[in-house]
Structure 1
Amino acid sequence: MAGCTEATSGLGGTGGDGGTGGAAGVGGAEPPLRHYIRDAQGRALVLHGLNVANDAKSDPLRVGATTREFVLHMARVWGFNVSRHLIFWDAIEPEPGVYDQDYLARVEERLDWYAEAGIWVVLDMHQDVYSQVFCCDGAPEWAVRTDGIPYEQQDIWWTNYAEPAVQRAFDNFWDFDGPHADVQAAYIDAWMQVVERFHDHPAVLGYDLMNEPHQGSMDTSAFERTVLPAFYDRLIARIREVDTERWIFYEPTAFIVNPGGPTDLGAVTDAREGSPRLVYAPHLYDPTVFLGVGYNGPAAIERWEANRIAELEERHPAPLVIGELGEGPSAYFADVFTMTDRLGAGWVRWSSDPFYSAFANGREPDDILDLVRVYPRRIAGDPIDFAFNPEHRVFSLVFAEREGVEGATEIFVPEARLYPDGWTLQVSDPDGSWTSDWDPDRRILSIVTDPTQAQHVIRIDPGGP
């Protein structure tokens, strides 16, 4: 096959430069029981991608500058297979009960681009500081209920969350039994407009219920234990009246969790029959990088990992996807991706804007080398372990056979970028019992393994003739 100079069987195990073979979590502890989003053939999905796009917040049309060509480039050159695509309540429902079909048509046009590219989409109902009325984005003006409390704009956008008017707007939104109960009800109705229109679209993987929900003036722990999960359950139940198949992404609050702290978010219930299709989607921003100090090592990432493991084990037995992964230097991304591979987690980089700007100007984004990796997009079984070592350019995957799974395991291999002198493939299944196929246009290696083998080991190494 083109690109692969050798394909052999009999790989007995992995380790060494590949970094697999029972990777341990923080402090040597085993990682939590992994849960995965699965496709229609039962294959486990590993998601790598971009949030699209921050510039939509300030665009009068609320869609941003992203083009079809850029979306195709995301998939075919960089290998991304997911977009967390921002949508906005004020764009959907600019007046009470009036839904902007032109805006939804613009969203649908972009969903068609993603479908063409083979990119999954998570529709993210985005808010920052509740509404454009304050500083940022989210609720329409008519849904901002401050009870007359004045608002004073602060220079640093996220400090506006502390403004009493902003907190009162959130308090009134969350008070579902209070005098402003119509606000949350309208938010749910707006979501239903989205779900009813897009639930059958082939690109749509799921729905992110609210970006970085904020507690307003309430105690954060009490809010996360009671108010927030009740809201999620209420909204999920409505979505399941129309769509029982798409995955539902939910988040804890951001201020403590994003830099690595714990959350008290209570368990969330999926109203669908059968196994739940929920995805735990906290965000990750290194605190010193976020504050402009620079990257000071993996301590915050290790704390983030330890807290997420505890939450997955105790209250959130769901696939883990980092809904927003903040920027940082190469060392930061190396530490993060070692962690996400260890956890079997997906990630979505915030945000696509600098990548689009570079693409539009005919150059590579500054940190694209940190993000473009060999990774298993679809795994035809139960993943046990996978890792990519960027220094040695070695990838390894271990997975168990799973009854009922069909199709090939698909691995993105950025051949020209990482393997200009070729690469070798090893598979542990007996010789002649497995097959592989290389798609040079999509840079996808597809491997059909032997269903009689309980476990499969795949390894890719650099190497030429």
Structure 2
Amino acid sequence: MNRILQMALIATLFSTLILGSAQAFDIKHGLRDSDGRHMIPRGFVINTNDHAGSVDFNPDDYLRMVRMGANVQVIRLELGRLSEFGQSSFEPEYLARVKRATTLAREAGIKTIFKLTVYGAKGFSWSELYLDENNAQQTYINAWRHIWDTFKDNDAVIGYDLVNEPRKKDMDIAYDDLTNQYLIPFYEKLIDAALPYSETKQFLIQTVFMNKGDAINNNQYAEIKQKIKRKNIIFAPHIYQKNMDYIVPTMERFAKESELLQAPILIGEWGFPTFVTTDNSVKEQLNYIEFYIKTAEIFDQMGVGSIKAWFLGNRSYQNFLPGGQSTWAIFRDKQAIGTVERKYITDIIARPYPQLIAGDIKSFLFDFASRTLSLTMVSDNRQGASRIFIGADRHYPDGFTVHIDDDMILTKSPLTRGFEVKHSKPNTNPGNIIWDEDRQQLVILAWPSDKSELDVQITPGLYKHPDPAVKDH
């Protein structure tokens, strides 16, 4: 079978399977802010440390994240700096750094989720945690309490990813039994311990990270088959998949688990790591572009948020894959705070999308081939302003046009700061549509038609009426 026919069949498969899922989950995924607006979380895993030491970002770094479409950061906490496992001890200065990162994010317009990893906790054992030997579960809860207490009243903190990539290791137990008998009861115990601090925070749930050699459809995460009997849950699976044949089955499996949990999906980490050789190979970069785009399109069609690892430069590489040294860093610099983008990755991460919508998002998709963002929604102006990330400097150097149903058409030239109105119906106010240059966002103070289903499109170039005899506007 030739390559063109293969791609055509894959495209048909994606359309058939995923569009069906998108209809089933059209407003289930995403989150709601305190005003009820529909939010699609997107952003980066933020590392606090790497092998060479601390990693601390500044306000300019957070503005860079915003200009790449981030509205959420996931701070990767280290258990060894928050707990009393083994020789570990709580480090107040570490918590101070975490507080600073949360404040800088809030000031830039980014919400925060905390993810607790077991890095640095040298006396930690997965089997001891599951079996609650040596009071391990209480020690783990005590580590979380430093975070829960510090951020209990902080409305810029969405919630907590309670156990990052829980492992089976050398336990002689089936994955289903480990999940049902130990992991889920521990999740419920953690949530019960957190609720006295705040009843509004969300709790992110993962599944067991399978041992090397074990996988489901080439995805190293066990399936969850039992409901967690708690509220405020977000299902936060990881997907590191470069084989396009397995992307659809994996996401369909996640959709099934989401239904069981009655929890929206937020992809907690995604994006196959980059090999050292990829930076110098056009062929390899084109391969990355292909499966990254397909993955991103599925996320959009399902309406799920996604968090990319990592917002880092290349101070280090890992060597656990057959292809050699690799990294999840999205910058090439040999320093922690990178600036030289791997654009074959970042242009896909930073694609246009509806960040925050007053009303309900029914569906959305950024088509990379045509550079067109399509959004179907139901407006509710009582909820406040809406924001759509455009990334014009990156995606629309030739300018772009905003079509809001048949109510309004506006263009943004790269040579001017504001919009030019090409068409607006009577009793609509184009002044409610604002371009935020610094954040590369389209701000809609009020939709031209309230309580209405609207089709919104962002298209490249500057609109010209198809009939030259008709003047614009």
Segments of 5+ residues of structure 2 without an aligned counterpart are 1-10, 274-287, 313-328, 408-424, 464-473
Which of 302, 315, 333 is the aligned partner of 2:292?
333
Choose which of 445, 448, 452 in structure 1 pairs with 2:442. Answer: 445
Distance 2:74 2:56 in 1: 15
Indicate whether 1:100 and 2:91 are aligned.
Answer: yes
Residues 175 and 222 in structure 2, CA contact (< 8 A), matched pair in contact too: no
Corresponding residue number in structure 1 for 2:62: 71
Shift of 1:238: 1.0
The corresponding residue for 2:76 is 86
Supply the distance in 1 between the matched residues of 2:21 and 2:130 (Cα, whole angstroms): 38
Does structure 1 retain, via aligned residues, the 8 Å contact 2:19–2:301? Answer: no
Shift of 1:94: 4.5
Match of 2:383, SS state, is coil
Residue identity (%): 25
Tell me: CA distance 1:59–1:210, structure 2 relative to 1, closer, same or farther (3 Å): farther
**73 and 30 in structure 1: CA distance in 2 versus 1, 3 angstrom threshold:** closer
Instruction: Tell me the equivalent position of 1:427.
Output: 404
In the alignment, what sits opposite 2:198? 243
**Matches of 1:30 and 1:385, distance apart in 2:** 7
Q: 1:266/1:361 Cα in 2 relative to 1: closer, same or farther (>3 Å)? A: closer
Instruction: Provide TM-score, normalisation by structure 1.
Output: 0.76
In the alignment, what sits opposite 1:139? 121
CA distance 1:181–1:324, shift in 2 (3 Å): same
Contact 1:254–1:283, Cα closer than 8 Å, also in 2: no
- Which residue pairs with 2:182 in the alignment? 227
Q: CA deviation at 1:47?
A: 1.6
Question: What amino acid sits opposite 1:56 in the alignment?
Answer: N
Distance in 2 of aligned mates of 1:464 and 1:299: 38
Mapping of residues 4-403 of structure 1, within 5 Å: 25-26=17-18, 28=20, 31-33=23-25, 34-53=28-47, 56-60=49-53, 63-75=54-66, 77-94=67-84, 99-127=90-118, 137-141=119-123, 144=124, 169-176=125-132, 180-216=133-169, 217=171, 218-255=173-210, 256=215, 259-260=218-219, 263-270=223-230, 276-286=231-241, 295-296=242-243, 298-313=244-259, 315-327=260-272, 329-353=288-312, 354-355=329-330, 358=333, 360=337, 362-366=339-343, 367-401=345-379
Does structure 1 retain, via aligned residues, the 8 Å contact 2:332–2:341? no
Greater relative contact order (CA < 8 Å, ≥ 6 in sequence): 1
Q: Which amino acid aligns with 1:375?
A: Y
Provide closer, same or farther for how the CA distance between residues 30 and 422 of structure 1 changes in structure 2, counting only shifts above 3 A: closer
Secondary structure in 2 matching 1:304: helix
Cα distance in 1 for partners of 2:114, 2:304 equals 19
Q: Distance in 2 between matches of 1:73 and 1:438?
A: 17
Q: 1:29 to 1:341 in 2, by over 3 A?
A: closer
Give distance in 2, aligned partners of 1:95 and 1:253: 21
* CA distance in structure 2 between the aligned counterparts of 1:69 and 1:257, rounded to whole angstroms: 41
Letter in 2 for 1:443: Q
How far did residue 121 of structure 1 move? 1.3
Deviation of the 1:265 alpha carbon: 4.2
Amino acid paired to 1:440: E
Q: Is the 8 A contact 2:235 2:263 kept in 1?
A: yes
Q: Provide the C-alpha distance between the structure 2 equivalents of 1:32 and 1:222, rounded to a whole number of angstroms.
A: 30
Cα offset for 1:57? 4.4
1:49–1:80 contact (8 Å) kept in structure 2: yes
Q: CA deviation digits over 1:286-313, x for unaligned, max 9?
A: 1xxxxxxxx44x2110111111121122
**3-state SS in 2 of match to 1:83:** strand
In 2, distance between residues paired with 1:407 and 1:27? 30
Tell me the distance in 1 between the aligned counterparts of 2:108 and 2:17.
34
Q: CA–CA distance in 2 between the matches of 1:26 and 1:139?
A: 41
Deviation at 1:202, TM superposition (A): 4.3
Alpha-carbon offset, residue 42 of structure 1: 0.8
Alpha-carbon distance, 1:27 to partner:
8.1
Q: Which amino acid in structure 2 is aligned with residue 105 of structure 1?
A: A
The CA distance in 1 between the partners of 2:180 and 2:456, in whole Å, is: 42
Which deviations, in whole Å up to 9, do the C-alpha atoms of 1:392-437 show, x marking residues without a partner? 11001111246x9511221011112211221111112643346311
Partner of 1:417: 394
Q: Residue 324 and residue 299 in structure 1: after superposition, are their counterparts in 2 closer, same or farther (change >3 A)?
A: same
Residue range with higher mean Cα deviation, 359-368 or 196-205: 359-368
Q: Is the 8 A contact 1:257 1:283 kept in 2?
A: no
Contact 2:83/2:142, CA 8 A, preserved across alignment: no
- Cα shift at 1:203: 3.2
Letter of the 1:449 counterpart: W
Q: Structure 2 length normalisation: TM-score?
A: 0.75
Equivalent residues of 2:374, 2:457 under 8 A apart: yes
List gaps (5 residues or longer) in structure 1: 1-18, 128-136, 145-168, 271-275, 287-294
Matched AA of 1:390 = F
Aligned 8 A contact 1:24 1:31 in 2:
no
Structure 2 Cα separation of the partners of residues 31 and 221 of structure 1: 30
SS of equivalent to 2:76: strand
Compute the displacement of 1:264 (Å). Answer: 2.8
8 Å contact from structure 1 (residues 421, 463) kept in 2: yes
Comparing 417-426 with 451-460, greater Cα deviation is found at 451-460
RMSD of Structure 2 on Structure 1 (CA): 2.6
Match of 2:318 in 1: none
Structure richer in strand, relative to its length: 2
Q: 1:59 to 1:340 in 2, by over 3 A?
A: same
Secondary structure class of the residue paired with 2:200: coil
